[in-house]
Amino acid sequence: MRVYPNGNVYCATKHAVDALTKGMRLDLVDTPVKVSTVDPGLVETEFSQVRFYGDKGRAKKVYEGYQPLRGTDIADAVVWIASRPEHVQIAEIIIFPAAQASSMVVHKKEV
């Protein structure tokens, strides 16, 4: 998780969830409970509409010029994690669309 401008509360929350997850993994190591995270990049959801206070036009621009992930892409990862054998724990998965290299670097084609 990287921080970015105007994302301070969101980024701080993500860092807290990361610390909680890693701590739980340590505390539960002697149990059958597995602790995993799926950390998606740009997924086309209502998140941008919420982020931009209902401005649908501004939210739509976030996803222009590249193919963002879909909710089903993330769901596939969750199902895969849950279907691993008992002796396998997937600690974390980071999933980006092909056009995304980091939270701040996205290759967008002109539309």
Domain range for 61 is 34-95
Assess if residue 54 is contained within a domain: yes
Q: What is the mean pLDDT of residues 6-20?
A: 93
Assess if residue 91 is contained within a domain: yes
Assess if residue 50 is contained within a domain: yes
Assess if residue 39 is contained within a domain: yes
CA–CA separation, 69 and 19 (whole Å): 25
Assess if residue 53 is contained within a domain: yes
In the predicted structure, residue 4 carries a pLDDT above the cut 90? no
Identify whether the C-beta of residue 18 lies closer than 8 Å to the C-beta of residue 12: no
Q: What is the mean pLDDT of residues 11-40?
A: 96
- Reported as a single tens digit per residue, the pLDDT across 62-99 is 999 999 999 999 999 999 999 999 999 999 999 999 99
Q: What is the pLDDT of residue 98?
A: 98
Q: What is the mean pLDDT of residues 38-65?
A: 92
CA–CA separation, 43 and 75 (whole Å): 12
| pLDDT band (50, 70, 90) for residue 110 | confident
Task: Output the six-digit token pair for 38.
Answer: 């799926």
Give the mean pLDDT of the chain. 94
Nearest 5°: CA angle at 61, between 57 and 65?
Answer: 145
In the predicted structure, residue 111 carries a pLDDT above the cut 80? no
In the predicted structure, residue 1 carries a pLDDT above the cut 80? no
Assess if residue 106 is contained within a domain: no
By annotation, the residues acting in catalysis are: 10, 14
Assess if residue 40 is contained within a domain: yes
CA–CA separation, 16 and 21 (whole Å): 9
Assess if residue 21 is contained within a domain: no
Measuring CA to CA, which residue among 18, 65, 69 is closest to residue 43? 69
Q: What is the mean pLDDT of residues 4-11?
A: 88
Count of the separate structural domains present in the chain:
1
